[in-house]
Amino acid sequence: MAQRRSSRPARRTQKRAAGARSRRGTGRAPARRGAGHPVVHWEIAARDPKALHTFYEAVFGWKIDANNPMEYGMVTAGGSGINGGIGPAQGVPGVTFYVRVPDLDAALRKIGELGGSTAVPPTVIPNMVTFAVFTDPQGNRIGLVK
């Protein structure tokens, strides 16, 4: 590849997309595209949570803290990962991820209108979180947190 011999900076050869404006000097961060509501937590519901704590610690090197009255294993991701948990299954074992929304009731109404259904209504766990769980039109369980 040939090297540039000029001391001037290289010109941009790509034109700006139609309608795009420079953000230089606006003091705003660029808008995130497609961001929507973020996934903020995941959970593995297990028949034997203690056994899975040991399993995932060995497989992924996760640090799991189950020192709480429910023995719910809190997994701290560290770095850029998403924190999660491993706890007892209330019925069928499985994996659920949780999405943060500003209004649980409004989200559940919209989900119902679009063919989903509420599996767990808004529930408060004191000093921790307010959450709900819904089932999408194809049967997947997804959590919501406020």
Q: For residue range 58-104, what is the model confidence (pLDDT) as tens digits?
A: 998 899 999 998 889 999 987 788 999 999 998 889 999 999 999 99
pLDDT at 91: 85
Q: Is the pLDDT of residue 127 over 80?
A: yes
Which domains, and CATH codes, for the chain? Answer: 39-145 (3.10.180.10)
Q: Is 99 helix (H, G, I), strand (E, B) or coil?
A: strand
Cα–Cα distance list, 138 to 3, 37, 41 (Å): 56, 20, 21
Give the predicted TM-score (pTM) of the model: 0.71
> Length of the chain, please?
146
